[in-house]
Amino acid sequence: MKQRVLRTIILLVLGVYFVLPLVAMAEFSTRGVGGSRSLDSWTSIVEDEGLMAALANSLLLSVTSAVLMLVLLVPTMAWIRLRLPQLQRLVEFLCLLPLAIPAIVLVVGMAPLYAWVNYFLGDSALTLTFAYTVLVLPFAYRAIDAGLSAIDLKTLAEAARSLGASWLTVLWKVVVPNIRVALIGASLLSVALVLGEFTIASLLNFDTLQVQVNLLGKRNAGVSIAVSLLCLIFAFVLLFALSYVGQRRRQTVAEEETLQGSS
Amino acid sequence: MTSVAPVATTPGGSTKIRGGAAGRPSAAAWLVAVPFLAFAGTFLVYPTVLVLVGAFQDSDGAFTLENITTLFTGVVFDAFLLSIELSALTALIGAVFGALLTWAIAVGNPDGMLRRTVVAGSGVLAQFGGVPLAFAFLATVGFEGLVTKFLRDNAGIDLFAGSAWLFELPGLTLVYTFFQIPLMVIVFLPALDGLRPQWREANASLGGTSWTYWRHVGGPILTPPFLGALLLLFANAFSAYATAAALVSQGSPIVPLQIRGFLTGEVVLGQENLGKALGLGMVVVVTIAMGVNVLLQKRVAKWVRR
């Protein structure tokens, strides 16, 4: 009983603390002239060409970064488990390294590098893919590592190989389908991270969603607050979906365990 | 090596791209790791080394300790002090309230809506908030914010009577807390989930109370992960940039904003490498916090494993 009271108090107090700013954003972004309500801020989101272009950049970037992350990590991590265990430590270290190096510090080192990247590849915002793939490495590594740990990769790969499958086939038809839940999780996390990223894009002068939102804040607070609220809601929906993906994994594992137990 | 043998004896039909590497010794096997290593080398290791080495160079590339000694003087040193103060303060607030919130959802239904919502919401605010968080606070307690207006119109209280506190340490503390508490929920939840119901039952069957349980079982087990989370929160606040950058457009009270000054050319020319020294300083602080955290987690790993 005492526990229930304490729990309710905590949830109420912190609930208000966290929900109040969101309510304030909704209120602020619907202010009209002379105390009336208006949806002008929300409708002008789609009319703002700069904002739409930046949103397109960010969406495209979130896809390219997730793809590059998968292409780089999945074969390497699977291969390391199968044939190159001596590289395990190095790859893990590299993937977790971005946690110890603040993004703002990474930008300092990337600025001269990006002078070269832009010289060779042009100064499209899509070149940020490289920087963002670095940023998502720790999250993606953990998700994929958990996925690979949950399956008996060696046996699966040997079985496929002994039936004549090439390594590429093993990767594409055995490894990927077996860890697809982990891959979905890793991809959703990188999409959310890329859509919310500001530090690197802003300091390397690329035009992404958050950079535009920040610029917009200086001339039209209502619109930038409306977009900010949209970003938060969108990221929430992504992560909420992710919690169901995680649950399905738990259930599948549990089902497999029951099957193994009964056979 | 036994596992490799059967694979190596079946080269049939494996002539495509990576297939050729299968039968041959590891020289070819290493090739598969090349794309990742090349990428990480170029976009992660190289920029890092550039910062770390540049911190010890002058503008002509000669070795110098001047950048490092400058870290301990004037506005740069003040920024480090304020950054550490802000990070420690918000880590402590975040850890305490975050632990309470974690407990409140951990005792509930593990697949329930409440827990799902809090966990997903925590992920958003802790990791992907950035700029939107700054605007959330402008909408709430900014000059024309909801709470500011409400207090002004109904209670006659002017939130900004004293100073522009929202853009200084008190404001930053408030905003940082908004992503520190959620981060605590994410990192502390596994530790609370790791407490086994049997321990509570054992305590009860030996005549223990709720107090003796937390005093002798729950508390001691949760102390290392709590301290670990505290360090992680510290490192997180210390590294954070986006929210502060969107909120504070003038002046550079904290280290990340000082680095912005160096990158956007607001600072005297010829001092670029001082920016790298600031970066090195940040890496050192974060690494110490994360290093101690790793040691703690290793000690406690056997308790939270499920």
Unique residue bearing structure tokens 């960010």: A58
A66 or B58: which carries more pLDDT confidence?
A: A66
Q: Is B212 left (phi over 0), alpha (psi -120 to 50) or beta?
A: alpha
The closest CB to that of B18, out of A102, A167, A217, belongs to A167
**Count of Cβ atoms closer than 10 Å to residue B94 Cβ:** 28
- Spacing of C-alpha A71 from chain mean position: 15
Residue B294 DSSP class: H
For residue B299, give how far its alpha carbon lies from the nearest alpha carbon of chain A (Å). Answer: 20
* Chain A hits for B44, Cβ within 8 Å: 94, 97-98, 106, 134, 137
Query: What is the C-alpha separation between B125 and B243, in angstroms, rounded?
Result: 11
Residue type, B195: L
- Count of beta carbons in the 10 Å neighbourhood of residue B226: 20
Nearest to A242 by CA among B218, B209, B116: B116
Contact (Cβ atoms closer than 8 angstroms) between residue A14 and residue B101? yes
Do B219 and B192 touch, CB atoms closer than 8 A? no
Cα A124 to Cα A40: distance, rounded to the nearest angstrom: 32
Crossing angle of helices A221-262 and B131-141, rounded to 10°: 120
Structure-token pair, residue A155: 């046996």
Query: Taking CB atoms and an 8 Å limit, are B107 and A3 in contact across chains?
Result: yes
CA A210 to CA A58: how far, in whole Å?
9
Report the distance separating Cα B102 and Cα B79, nearest Å: 32
What one-letter code names the amino acid at A48?
D
CA dihedral A82, A85, A90, A93 (to 10 degrees): 80
Q: Please give the pLDDT value at position B280.
A: 95
Window 12-71 of B: residues touching A by CB (8 A cutoff) are: 12-19, 21-22, 26, 29-30, 32-33, 35-37, 39-40, 42-51, 54
A193 with A180: CB under 8 angstroms? no
Chain B residue numbers with beta carbons less than 8 Å from the beta carbon of A99 are 290
Q: Which position has the higher pLDDT, A252 or A211?
A: A211
Contact A167 B239 (CB under 8 A): no
Q: What is the DSSP letter of B64?
A: -
What residues have CB less than 8 Å from B27, skipping those under 6 apart? none
What is the CA angle B47-B50-B56, rounded to 5?
Answer: 155
Distances (CA, A) of B156 to A154, B146, B151, B153: 71, 14, 6, 6
In tens digits, what is the pLDDT along chain B, a chain of 306 residues? 333 333 333 344 433 344 444 444 467 788 889 999 999 999 999 999 999 999 999 888 888 888 898 889 888 899 999 999 999 999 999 999 999 999 999 988 888 889 989 999 998 898 878 899 999 998 998 888 898 888 888 887 777 776 677 778 888 999 999 999 999 999 899 888 888 888 888 888 898 888 888 888 888 888 888 998 999 999 999 999 999 999 887 777 899 999 998 888 766 666 778 889 999 999 999 999 988 888 887 776 665 554
Kindly calculate the radius of gyration of chain A based on its CA atoms and give it in whole angstroms. Answer: 23
Kindly state the DSSP code that residue B279 receives in the 8-state scheme: H
> Quick one: which of A104, A233, A135, A224 has its CA closest to B134?
A224
A86: tokens are 């001596």
Q: Are B116 and A240 in contact (CB under 8 A)?
A: yes
Beta carbons within 8 Å of B263's beta carbon, 6+ residues apart: A107, A108, A111, A203, B275
Q: What ipTM was predicted for this assembly?
A: 0.87
- Give yes or no for a contact between B33 and A84, defined as CB atoms under 8 angstroms apart: yes
Q: How many CB atoms lie within 10 A of CB A216?
A: 24
At residue A249 the predicted structure's pLDDT band, cuts being 50, 70 and 90, is low
Nearest CA in chain A to B4: A83
Task: Calculate the alpha carbon distances from B157 to A61, B149, B175 in Å.
Answer: 45, 9, 21
Mutate which: B1, B32, B283, vs A, most A CBs within 10 A = B32
Interface of B with A in 167-206 (CB under 8 A): 178, 181
Closest Cα in chain B to A238:
B120
The pLDDT value given to residue B80: 94
**What's the pLDDT score for residue A177?**
93
Q: Where are the alpha helices (DSSP H) in chain A?
A: 2-29, 40-47, 49-82, 88-100, 103-121, 128-149, 153-162, 167-169, 176-178, 180-196, 199-203, 209-219, 221-262
Q: Do A76 and B36 lie within an 8 Å CB cutoff?
A: yes
Which residue, B253, B247, B71, B81, is CA-closest to B174? B247
Quick check: A218 and A136 in contact, CB under 8 A? Answer: no
Nearest CA in chain A to B293: A100
Determine the Cα–Cα distance for residues A244 and A30; give it in Å rounded to an integer: 33
At how many degrees (to 10) do helices B255-263 and B272-304 cross? 140
Compute how many other C-beta atoms are within 10 angstroms of the C-beta atom of residue B143. Answer: 12
